[in-house]
């Protein structure tokens, strides 16, 4: 079905970045022989995010309930005074829930993060969502208008990334992965020599050595590895931004839909690679900017059957499923059920952001491009 909205790619230029500069550019200015790997796509993503979306996201994190009194208190305040207000009134516990659509039969591959403060008891929130929408979008013939209203009224901020199909992080992924993992191992060895909790790092080193051995086999598959490092980096980036906004943050929880990136060779490696990667990269990001780190909690989904946080994943599931079904060229969806959610949720940029990311070969050269997408009414 055709729509009354049209896709528009933008990159807005900000006049100023007030306060501290938390951009990531300097992390990549000096090359090191070791470190936690992070693909340089994060730089154009960071730049585009800051030029087009930084203040939108910051306003939500600082005042997710859109409380007028808090807005007035924050208005015009910077530095210590602003931090004092947020330290008293800011939410100290946050949840990031993610879902993915990698489907050759859909126009787009999409990754969605639904971000919300901990304002409601976990079980109450799950029950509320289940009451409004009992099935995921794939198995729903329609979307309950009250569920759409929930998206509009509950403090949920959705960030979706449309990534080019069959994206690659490097032309020679085997060489790239070897270099990245080898440097990662050296970083762990550095921590073993200089930190107190060496048992944890010894286990991490063992996991990475097994991973390196696996990637050096004759014909390894890099599909899950590239997704782990891409999704892991974006997840960490969002955690890092929230940390930079809220003083004395207590905990950020990440709850991912059941996917191969979570269980990637877990029994062979002896642990969950993506959890370790996010924890380590978050540490590096925060240390580089002298930010007080929050505790990080990971939700581990069951390998089979219903997940214990299945209702939460229904939020990014509906956003990712809708965007993945959207045909940019034809400006249409395959089913009418997607239209109401799109028109009433996607078009509110104060709580929903969409980015188009391209990473890979284009005309015999390797390119990275990031644009923010909006929709104009026609």
Q: What is the pLDDT of residues 65-100, one digit of tens each?
A: 988 888 888 876 555 677 788 888 889 999 999 999
Q: Among the listed ranges 27-31, 249-253, 283-287, which one has the minimum average pLDDT value?
A: 27-31
Count of CB atoms situated within 10 Å of the CB of 115: 26
CA dist., res. 62 & res. 252, Å (int): 15
Nearest to 160 by CA among 117, 116, 113: 113
- What H or E segment, with its residue span, contains residue 229? helix 223-245
What the block records as the tokens of 366 is 């390797």
Q: Do 322 and 342 meet the contact criterion of CB atoms below 8 Å apart? A: yes
Query: How large is the average pLDDT for residues 318-331?
Result: 94
pLDDT value at residue 25: 61
Nearest to 123 by CA among 297, 308, 300: 308
Query: How large is the average pLDDT for residues 163-192?
Result: 91
Highest mean pLDDT among 48-52, 110-114, 222-226: 110-114
**Helix and strand element counts for the chain (H, E):** 14, 8
Identify any residues that bridge with 98 across adjacent strands, giving them in sequence order: 113, 256
Q: Do 94 and 251 meet the contact criterion of CB atoms below 8 Å apart? A: yes
Q: Among the listed ranges 165-169, 277-281, 355-359, which one has the minimum average pLDDT value?
A: 165-169
What the block records as the tokens of 77 is 């305040």
Residue 349 main-chain phi, psi, to 5 deg: -70, -10
Count of CB atoms situated within 10 Å of the CB of 198: 14
Crossing angle, helix 223-245 and helix 54-62, to 10 degrees? 60
The yes-or-no verdict on residue 7 having pLDDT over 60 is no
Query: How large is the average pLDDT for residues 216-239?
Result: 91
pLDDT value at residue 363: 81
Instruction: Identify the burial level of 324 via C-beta atoms within 10 angstroms of its C-beta, where 0-12 means exposed, 13-18 middle and 19 or more buried.
Output: buried
pTM, entire model: 0.91
pLDDT value at residue 27: 59
pLDDT value at residue 89: 83
Which of the pair, 258 or 61, is modelled with greater confidence? 61
Question: pLDDT tier at 307 (50, 70, 90 boundaries)?
Answer: confident
Which of the pair, 21 or 148, is modelled with greater confidence? 148
């Amino acid at each position: 079905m055709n729509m009354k909205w049209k896709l528009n790619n933008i990159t807005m230029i900000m006049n100023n970045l007030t306060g501290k500069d938390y951009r990531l550019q300097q992390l990549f200015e000096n090359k090191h022989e070791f470190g936690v790997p992070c693909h340089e796509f994060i730089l154009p993503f960071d730049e585009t995010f800051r030029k087009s979306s930084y203040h939108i996201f910051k306003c939500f994190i600082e005042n997710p309930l859109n409380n007028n009194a808090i807005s007035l208190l924050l208005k015009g305040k910077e530095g210590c005074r602003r931090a004092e207000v947020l330290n008293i009134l800011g939410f100290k516990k946050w949840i990031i829930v993610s879902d993915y659509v990698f489907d050759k039969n859909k126009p787009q591959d999409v990754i969605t993060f639904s971000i919300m403060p901990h304002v409601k008891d976990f079980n109450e929130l799950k029950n509320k969502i289940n009451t409004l929408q009992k099935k995921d979008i794939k198995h729903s013939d329609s979307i309950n208008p009250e569920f759409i209203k929930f998206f509009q009224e509950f403090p949920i901020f959705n960030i979706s990334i449309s990534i080019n199909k069959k994206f690659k992080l490097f032309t020679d992924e085997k060489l790239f992965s070897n270099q990245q993992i080898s440097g990662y191992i050296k970083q762990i060895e550095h921590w073993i020599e200089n930190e107190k909790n060496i048992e944890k790092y010894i286990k991490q080193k063992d996991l990475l050595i097994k991973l390196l051995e696996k990637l050096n086999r004759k014909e390894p598959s890099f599909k899950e590895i590239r997704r782990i490092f891409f999704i892991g980096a974006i997840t960490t980036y969002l955690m890092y931004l929230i940390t930079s906004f809220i003083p004395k943050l207590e905990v950020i929880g990440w709850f991912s839909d059941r996917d191969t990136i979570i269980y990637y060779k877990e029994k062979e490696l002896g642990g969950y690679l993506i959890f370790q990667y996010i924890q380590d990269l978050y540490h590096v990001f925060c240390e580089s900017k002298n930010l007080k780190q929050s505790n990080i909690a990971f939700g581990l989904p069951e390998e089979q059957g219903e997940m214990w946080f299945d209702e939460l994943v229904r939020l990014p599931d509906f956003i990712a499923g809708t965007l993945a079904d959207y045909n940019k060229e034809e400006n249409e969806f395959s089913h009418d059920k997607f239209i109401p959610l799109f028109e009433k949720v996607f078009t509110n940029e104060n709580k929903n952001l969409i980015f188009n990311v391209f990473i890979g070969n284009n005309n015999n050269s390797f390119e990275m491009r990031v644009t923010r997408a909006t929709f104009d009414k026609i």
